[in-house]
Amino acid sequence: MAVLSMTKVKPTSSIGENATRNILSAWKGKHVADACIAATQIGLIHSGGLLAYNRAKDILMAGFEVRLMTTFIGRP
């Protein structure tokens, strides 16, 4: 009889996810220019095919919400 292992497997992160984490950790300010730079860099990662559009958008929106940038993206 076979025994199944119950060890947790840590999911591997893609290159795009790691690059996006680096961008978000470098995003320090709350100024709109900082948001534009981060959005451009994440967009470049998406354009390079390293990150799916929906994932890039979700990450960027979460970054905006964390930094209270909602007034700049059209949300109340």
Per the domain annotation, does 22 fall within a domain? no
Q: Which residue has the higher pLDDT, 12 or 46?
A: 46
Q: Once rounded to an integer, what is the mean pLDDT over residues 25-32?
A: 83
Assess whether pLDDT exceeds 80 at residue 1. Answer: no
Contact 22, 28 (CB under 8 A): no
The percent helix, strand, coil of the chain (3-state, each to 5) is 60, 0, 40
Per the domain annotation, does 12 fall within a domain? no
Per the domain annotation, does 76 fall within a domain? yes
Per the domain annotation, does 45 fall within a domain? yes
Range of the domain at 40: 30-76
Per the domain annotation, does 11 fall within a domain? no
Q: What percent of the chain has pLDDT over 70?
A: 72
Per the domain annotation, does 20 fall within a domain? no
Number of domains the chain contains: 1
Per the domain annotation, does 35 fall within a domain? yes
Q: Is 3 helix (H, G, I), strand (E, B) or coil?
A: coil
Assess whether pLDDT exceeds 60 at residue 44. Answer: yes
pTM metric for this prediction: 0.70
